[in-house]
Amino acid sequence: MSSHLSRRDLLRLAGAAAAVPVLSSCAGAPTQQSAAPGTFTVYWNAGHDYQAYRKVIAEFEQANKVKVNFQKYQWPDLRTRLLADFASGTVPDLVEEPGGWVQEFAVSGNARSLQDYVDRDGAAMGFPSDWQPVTVERNSYQGKVYGVQLHLTCNTLLYNKGMLSAAGLEAPTTWEEFLAAAKKLTKDGVYGVALNQDYTYVWPWLMQAGVTPYDPETGAIMEPVADAVAALQFQADLIHKHKVAPVPVSSTDYSGPQKLFSAKRAAMILTGPWDLEPIGKTSPDIDLGVAPPLKHKEQVTQAAGTSMLVPAKATRPDLSWDFIKRITAIEVEQAATKETGMLMPRVSWAELPEVQSNEATKVFAEALPTAKDSSQQVRLTGQFGKWEEQLKVMYQQVLIQNQPAAEALETFTKAAEGFLK
């Protein structure tokens, strides 16, 4: 007679212990449904919850007899959530993405092609004819449309008119003028310029230097290398050599330059329309100037902005498409621009009176046709995430840690060659 539980009892207990989690996991297994019936789930950027969009959502709910579950995230959190959803199989009906994910998820099979809807409704809604060409290209894969651009933005020069005119300066147009202006403006605790710690802000400089990020045919990365090094070093020198810009601090926050500008601690920043609203709200006394992108070898800027995609496992793509159609209507773009100053992807949007009559928006709108996509060729390799990780390290090593640009770029190129081959 045993003083402990019998083997059979132990086996029973162990069996029960093992069965419950298995059963519970089965109970919670993905059902391949995107959401509860009657609920339409949207993942959206927290900063894009505009009244203009709320109105569209209300109309969408009424027309389709559904309740929109409008979930707002910061981009990194949205990506984490979405990838977890892809893994579990329970996906939202529609996702706003920050640029680049459409092709990445098209390549991996997680995004649904919208080509059948475009073929059916495209002409009526003006897609793609009324969208800036770059926005259609960056949302297509193997000749099919996988996403529709919601906002089209670009970086250009924002400056404090009062500070520049007090220094007897006009808005700079070239890198040389920019450096000279920054030197003259740096005094009394004010920096001539504030650069961003976020690596994506490197692209306008590289593009203006004529650098091609990646050529899939030759495998060349960041060429011409000498121009890429010069562009990186120019930015580092603004901080460490000329001391006309503060050393940025690495974080997830890309609003550092805007905060310095709003605090009148920086006279110029290179940024996009997303900073117009915070500057206007926090420092209405600043006479804000917006100038076209700087010119070096070329006068170009980076095409940015968000798009919408439908996950491949979303079960109600018809509804998702209806949402896309409604929220990209020219009237909605017009209302959103009026509300926030955001830039939009329709060609006809640039002709709207709200755009033409607004000094800041007009400059951005005029820069949009020169905006180029920075990483499409990399995205199509499916290695975009690794590319971005390496780029962030390289950018911060040069700008923050003052590592020689040539050395940091060489390390980056070697790493990129490893995963792009």
Partner 1 sequence: MRPRTLAGRYARTAYLFLLPAILFFAAFFYLPIGNVVATSLRTGPQADQWAGLGNYTQALGDPAVRHSFLVTVAFAVAVVVGSIVLGLALAMALDQPLKGRVAFRVLLLVPYLTSVAIVGLLWRNILDPELGVLNRLLLAAGLPAQHWLNTSPLLTIAAVTLWQSVGYTMVLFLAGLQGIPETYHEAAKIDGADAWLRFWRITLPLLAPTTLFVSVMAVISGLQAFGQAYIITNGGPGDATDLSVFHIFNVAFRSRDFGYSSAQSVLLLIVIVAFTLVQLRAGRRGEVVY
When the beta carbons of 181 and 266 are compared against partner 1, the nearer one is 266
When the beta carbons of 260 and 343 are compared against partner 1, the nearer one is 260
CB of 29 to partner 1, least distance (A): 13
When the beta carbons of 215 and 389 are compared against partner 1, the nearer one is 389
Q: Which long-range contacts (CB under 8 A, 24 or more apart) does 358-367 make?
A: 359/290, 360/273, 360/276, 360/288, 360/290, 361/273, 361/337, 363/156, 363/290, 363/291, 363/292, 364/153, 364/154, 364/156, 364/272, 364/273, 364/290, 366/292, 367/154, 367/156, 367/292, 367/293, 367/301
CB of 57 to partner 1, least distance (A): 28
Contact residues toward partner 1 (CB under 8 A) are 1-6, 8-9, 13, 16-18, 20-22, 24-25, 76, 79-80, 83, 86-87, 104, 108-110, 197, 246-247, 249-253, 256, 259-260, 263, 265, 382, 385-386, 388-389, 392-394, 396-397, 400-401, 403
CA 18/CA 153 separation, integer angstroms: 53
When the beta carbons of 102 and 343 are compared against partner 1, the nearer one is 102
CA nearest neighbour of 104 among 122, 86, 91, 117: 86
Q: Could you give the 3-state DSSP secondary structure of residue 106? A: helix
CB of 386 to partner 1, least distance (A): 5
DSSP string computed for 3-65 = SS--HHHHHHHHHHHHHHHHHHHHHTS--S-SS-TTEEEEEEEGGG--HHHHHHHHHHHHHHT
CB of 19 to partner 1, least distance (A): 10
CB of 415 to partner 1, least distance (A): 8
CB of 224 to partner 1, least distance (A): 24
When the beta carbons of 39 and 251 are compared against partner 1, the nearer one is 251
When the beta carbons of 24 and 165 are compared against partner 1, the nearer one is 24
